[in-house]
Amino acid sequence: MKIPILLITHDRPYLLDKVLNRLIKYTDWKEFELWICSNASTSANEKIIKAYAERYKGINVFYQDVNQISLIQNNLINKLRVERYIKLDDDILVSENWYKGFIGLAERHGKDMSIGSVVIPVNGFGWLPFLEIMGYIEEFRFKFPEVALIQGCMEPAAWYDNEVNKYLWEKSLNIDETSQQFTTKQKI
């Protein structure tokens, strides 16, 4: 049986397209199946989901009309009735062989486990430290003076403003290099 990958998404079409591209490119689909969990998404997100589902026949889509991440996740897990699955959000960029660590841990430690990971943050609370650690904070403030940066948090522009979104993603790519640099600078 293939291991389901649950990709939870809600109204981040710019991110979703990039995430799906990398997920499809870097996953061994002989071992996995993809479930896109559309969490009360609007038409822009739905358009991307539909395009990928038509292009890649192995993609399953699970819809929910209420925007509640834990509810859609739990509903799909109950529906699938599997011992193992991998849950990703629509802001996680995978890299080559990303899944091998999950498989190895599951084989060594059995089914009763939960795995977390260190990721480059993409929410209002995480981007501000990211910009500071990576040395982009002044450039960001100059480019986006209207975005409020208050008490270690960024207003929701990181989610809703395509230009802010694009800037943050571009500063995070190449993801492998950025991750290494972020980790190194954070320890200093």
Query: Which residues contact residue 4 at a Cβ distance below 8 angstroms, ignoring those fewer than 6 apart?
Result: 32, 33, 34, 35, 80, 82, 85, 86
**Same-domain check for residues 19 and 89:** yes
> Looking at 3-17, 95-109, 145-159, which range is the least confident one?
145-159
| Structure confidence at residue 60 as a pLDDT band (50, 70, 90) | very high
Q: Does 142 lie in the same domain as 101? A: no
Dist CA 125 CA 129 (whole Å): 8
For residues 86 and 154, the model is more confident at 86
Does 117 fall in a domain? no
Q: Is 110 left (phi over 0), alpha (psi -120 to 50) or beta?
A: left
pLDDT band at 30 (very low <50, low <70, confident <90, very high): very high
pLDDT at 121: 46
Domain that holds residue 150: 124-187
- Per-residue pLDDT band for 24 (boundaries 50, 70, 90) equals very high
Rounded CA gap, 120 and 126, in Å?
8
Q: Is residue 55 part of a domain?
A: yes
Last residue of a domain, one of 47, 75, 109: 109
Domain count, the chain: 2
Q: Is residue 100 part of a domain?
A: yes
State the Cα–Cα distance between residues 25 and 20, nearest whole angstrom: 8
- Average pLDDT for 150-174: 70
Reported confidence tier of residue 53, pLDDT bands at 50, 70, 90: very high
Q: Which two tokens stand for residue 81?
A: 């009735």
**Claim to verify: residue 60 and residue 144 sit in the same structural domain:** no
Instruction: Calculate the average pLDDT of the chain.
Output: 80
Element (H, E) at 96: none
* Residues 79 and 146 grouped into a single domain: no
Express each pLDDT in 94-139 by its tens digit: 888 888 877 777 777 766 655 554 444 444 446 777 788 788 989 9
pLDDT-based confidence at residue 183 (cuts at 50, 70, 90): low
pTM of structure: 0.64
Domain co-membership, 91 together with 166: no
Residue 14 pLDDT > 70: yes
Q: What is the pLDDT of residue 106?
A: 74
Question: What digits encode the pLDDT tens for the residues 169-181?
Answer: 777 766 566 666 7
Q: Does residue 118 fall inside a structural domain?
A: no
In a domain, 119, yes or no: no
One domain, residues 18 and 73: yes
Would you state the pLDDT for residue 118?
A: 41
- Rounded mean pLDDT of 59-80? 85
Query: Do residue 103 and residue 160 come from a single domain?
Result: no
Q: Are 105 and 129 within one domain? A: no
SS3 5: strand
